[in-house]
Structure 1
Amino acid sequence: MVSSLLHQPIDIGTHTLRNRLYRAPLLECAGNGPDAIETLISDLVPAARSGAGLICQGATIVRSPGGCAAPEMTYVDDPKFVADLQQLTDRIHDHGSSIAIQLEHGGLRSMETWHAGYRSTHPTLTQLAVSRPPPLLRLLDRCGFLNYNSQVLSTDDVYELAAAFGRSAGYAADAGYDIIHLAGANMGIIHQFLSPFYNRRTDEFSDGVRFLEVVYDEIRSQAGSIPIMTKVPAESAAPRVIRRRLTTADAIDICCRLEQIGFDAVVPVSGSVFWDMSIIKGEYPARAWNDDRFNSGYADAFGGRSRSKLVAFGNWVESLLYDFTPAWNAGLCAAVRRTVDIPVLAEGGIRTRGEIDRLLGTECDLVGLGRPFYAEPELPARLLSDRATADTAVVCENCNNCTVPQAAGEPGVCRTPAVLKRAGELRKAGAYEYEHTQDHE
């Protein structure tokens, strides 16, 4: 039996989590159709049933139309739809877990930038932009790889966007969500405000933290005392030719300022200024790219078969640059934790119980896993078990075959036979049977 802080409760703001293991945000691909809530229940409840202290619903968009970074993301700007999400939050609470909703807008990373088929069927949509797109991205636009028809936000527009975050947070609080989680990284619009690569404004929002401060005030106005946390990016993986970027020191400073504003927790993550494999790391997903079932979806997304092959080649190059590194955000999280007095959440490449125990109490206060849940929806039962050892590991092989098909509108599921076989063997052995007595006082 392994002894650690993992089973100990922890407070995020005014809310107490039963333990320190959480399901990190993933793309649920639920959309807003008639099956959306059942899809979310199917994806998220297993993590609660198997003991996770916190389940983070993946990025949801605060204003329509547009703004989705990937197909079938869920909008949360309709109060009636969000009210129905209480079916989900009730199910999570029935199992003793807590749930956070991650709020986002894609800005320049939205589908109207990169998805050819979506652009052709939504020709009037424009991207919300913090500033005029950077020169390098405008070059990609001229070469036909991206498509920018952006609306640079005025000062009044920024306040209106912040109000949209606040309204969605208010709807979510009424629907029973326990925590508001802002998507402050991975090149969404909050990241774009924070990043000097994107933000060339001359008004008060030239300081990207000011946008988060206004969003915070709007959430407090609309959702009361509900805890608020956010991801915070360091652009340490950006190519060296990119001189305007967020350094590790910048990310630490942002976290300190957010604590002063009143944020209840932070999730420091490293990455690039681009939407690339620095976010997920791991192997080149050859199986996914070569699966004939997805070819038409790739062609629709990237503008033809030849272009999708070019994107696949770029994906291969990125896999060489961003090889898998266990717990790759641990150093950044540790540096932040030394300077703030609010909980620091760590995610990214955490794959064993031994890593979890090493990180908790030193580098971070809570530990999250993401992609491994695609293969093991009830993974917490194994990691929280009294039978767990330091060598207890996820079955995920970091092959990324789960992620690429999402560009073609496919759900995020494990598609690697050897991984699924191992998960099936564990299920037959009863490894996913969870008992609440595993949560210790």
Structure 2
Amino acid sequence: MTTLDAPLDIGGVEVPNRLYRAPVLECAGNGEGAVETLIDELEPTAASGVGLLFQGASVVSERGGCAAPNMTRVHDPAFVSRLSRLTGAVHDHGGRIFLQLAHGGLRSMATWHAEYRRRHPDQRQLAVSRPPWQLRALDRAGLVSLQPDVLSTEEVWDLAEQFGRCAGYAVDAGYDGIHLSAANMSLIQQFLSPFYNRRDDVFGDGVRFLEAVHDAVRDHAGDVPLVTKVPAETAAPSFVRRHLAREDGVAIAERAAEIGYDGLVPVEVSTFWDMSIVRGAFPERAWAASDLQEDYAAVFGSRVRARAVELLNRIQARRFDRDPGWNAAFCRAVRERVDVPVLLEGGLRTREDCDRYLGAAGPGTEPAADAVGMARPFYAEPRLGARLLDGHDALCASCNNCTVPQVTGEPGRCRTPSVVREQARLRQDGAYDRPD
């Protein structure tokens, strides 16, 4: 049996246990206090005993590509070098930290964020191909704004090279590995998805982009561990005919392992940026927050449009399955076909579920993954690792009140009073303290 506190080797780097902090939006940006914000956000998690931290999606380009406000850009080696303070802080606690590299493509803020468009009227979105008709229809209806800049073959190679350069900067700053954002409607998912990718060149096979990024990372960062998410678009709406089925995702995972990826994170998502990635309750409190109403109106273009998005959010909250470990079946299918570590995330909240999916729940338990991760629970409990490793459960109720305000640039934090109060009580009682 594999237990949560057993070490794990990922690409030659030993991680002290099987618990990881999945990537979320840190909203640190690149300003004066960015490094301090990231340290404040991530060091407590390392101090709590979490073996591996994935610093959330960090954009590889100098402009464009941000899918949400205040994302950190890592194109500048001078800025990334300052992040050695963060990696050093994580290492001081015995943890490991990987940097997640990302680009939003058609999911960039220039598509959906009205205020951002007003401030950047000439900004275009990188596109794998001409946008699908569903997005073009939303553009004609005025709900999004598409100004696609379809990448030439040479530009795709250049973009892969940029991922590699940023990986090199990260290794120089002390990061232990690289994680690619290849789901949640990121540009890499757009390469992999038949919904978006209609190219007639070599990159019409989207896995070739994963290969090009892998080779560029090896050129610039050496043998650093390289992990990628692997999407299956099983949560796509019924009107989307062309999408990645689970078996397609398994095939992508097999090819990624053959290319040389050192770890895989299979996730079942939609073709769009929706609640398939943050399943849970409708965030009533967040949408009703009086201090955010003007911000929501600015983001979505008006109060009426903000209400329309709120209604869509309410409908989607009822649509998606919330079973803990909702990616487990996909992970298990991938794990049976590859010989690299498979990482599971998606709705995990209890120690029992962590043990079950690692195959440590008792004789006959079939493992789904080699490591288990959580994301939103760390907004509520930055030092959650101490309690989980001690056999307790997370407080997070998947209410999603932490996520919606992030479209306005608000930092990720728990906004549910009962959870905040309980976290404060546990902290006062020493529940997050670890022995020296």
TM over 0.5: yes
Partner of 1:80: 78
Partner in structure 2 of residue 96 of structure 1: 94
SS of residue in 2 equivalent to 1:29 = coil
List per-residue Cα deviations over 1:253-294 (Å, max 9, x = no partner): 111001110000000000110111011110110100010111
The answer to whether the Cα contact below 8 Å between 1:193 and 1:205 also exists between their aligned partners in 2 is yes
Is 1:207 the counterpart of 2:212? The answer is: no
Q: CA deviation at 1:58?
A: 0.2
**Contact conserved, 1:345 with 1:367, CA < 8 A, in 2?**
yes
**Matching residue's letter, 1:378:** R
Whether 2:403 is the aligned partner of 1:403: answer: yes
Check the 8 A contact 1:297/1:409 in 2, yes or no: no
The residue type paired with residue 300 of structure 1 is A
TM-aligned CA deviation for residue 300 of structure 1: 1.0
* Residue segments in structure 2 that go unaligned for 5+ positions in a row: 360-366
1 CA distance for matches of 2:249 and 2:317?
Answer: 25
Distance 1:323 1:294, change over 3 A: farther
Alignment of 1:36-75 (within 5 A): 36-75=34-73
CA displacement 1:180-221 (0-9 Å, x = unmatched) = 000011010000000000000000000000000000000000
Cα distance in 1 for partners of 2:52, 2:41 equals 14
> Deviation digits for residues 404-438 of structure 1, max 9, x if unmatched?
000011000000001111111211221101236xx
Deviations 1:153-181 (CA, angstroms, capped at 9, x unpaired): 00001001101100100000000000100
2:403 alignment partner AA: T
- Counterpart residue type for residue 17 of structure 2: N
| 1:324 Cα offset (Å) | 2.1
CA contact (8 A) 1:26 1:370 kept: yes
1:430 is matched with which residue?
430
1:376 aligns with 2:381: yes
Match of 2:280, as an amino acid? G
Please give the alpha-carbon distance, in whole angstroms, between the structure 2 residues aligned to 1:64 and 1:316. Answer: 35
Q: Percent identity?
A: 56
Amino acid at match of 1:409: G
Q: Give 1:283's aligned residue.
A: 281
1:246 aligned partner: 244
- 2: CA distance between counterparts of 1:295 and 1:164? 38
Aligned partner of 2:90: which letter? I
* 2:389 alignment partner AA: L
Q: Distance between the aligned counterparts of 1:14 and 1:225, measured in 2?
A: 9
2:294 is aligned, of 278, 293, 296, to 296
- The alpha carbon displacement at 1:32 in A equals 0.2
- Residue number in structure 1 paired with 2:368: 363
- Structure 1 residue runs of 5 or longer lacking an equivalent are 437-441
Q: Distance in 1 between matches of 2:239 and 2:143?
A: 20
- Counterparts of 1:59 and 1:241 in 2: how far apart (Å)? 29
Instruction: State how far apart, in whole Å, the 2-side matches of 1:430 and 1:329 are.
Output: 33
2:187 corresponds to which residue? 189
Find the aligned partners of 2:348 and 2:187 in 1 and give their Cα distance: 26
Distance 1:283 1:6 in 2: 28
For residues 257-336 of structure 1, the aligned pairs below 5 Å read 257-336=255-334
**TM-aligned CA deviation for residue 359 of structure 1:** 0.5
Partner of 2:363: none
**Deviation of 1:323 (Å):** 4.3
Q: For 1:121 and 1:247, how far apart are their aligned partners in 2?
A: 38
Equivalent residue in structure 2 for 1:354, among 342, 352, 366: 352
Q: What aligned pairs does 1:134-145 form with structure 2 within 5 A after superposition?
A: 134-145=132-143
Deviates more, 1:234-243 or 1:150-159: 234-243
Tell me the equivalent position of 2:170.
172
Tell me, in whole angstroms, the C-alpha distance in 1 between the residues paired with 2:386 and 2:2. Answer: 16
Q: TM-score, normalised by structure 2?
A: 0.97
Alpha carbons 1:283, 1:323 under 8 Å: kept: no
Displacement after TM superposition at 1:374 (Å): 0.4
Following the alignment from structure 2 to structure 1, what is the Cα–Cα distance between the partners of residues 293 and 320?
25
Please provide the CA RMSD for this pair. Answer: 0.9
Where do residues 380-391 of structure 1 align in structure 2 (5 Å cutoff)? 380-385=385-390, 388=391
The amino acid that maps onto 2:374 is L
Q: Which residue identity lines up with residue 364 of structure 1 in the other structure?
A: A
Moved over 4 A (4+): none
TM-score normalised over the length of structure 1: 0.96
Partner of 1:439: none
Question: Partners in 1 of 2:323 and 2:408 — Cα distance?
Answer: 27
Q: String of CA shifts for 1:208-250, please: whole Å, max 9, x gaps.
A: 0000000000000000110000000000011122110000000
Q: Secondary structure at the match of 1:74?
A: coil
Indicate the SS of the match to 2:45: helix
The alignment status of 1:417 with 2:422, answered yes or no, reads no
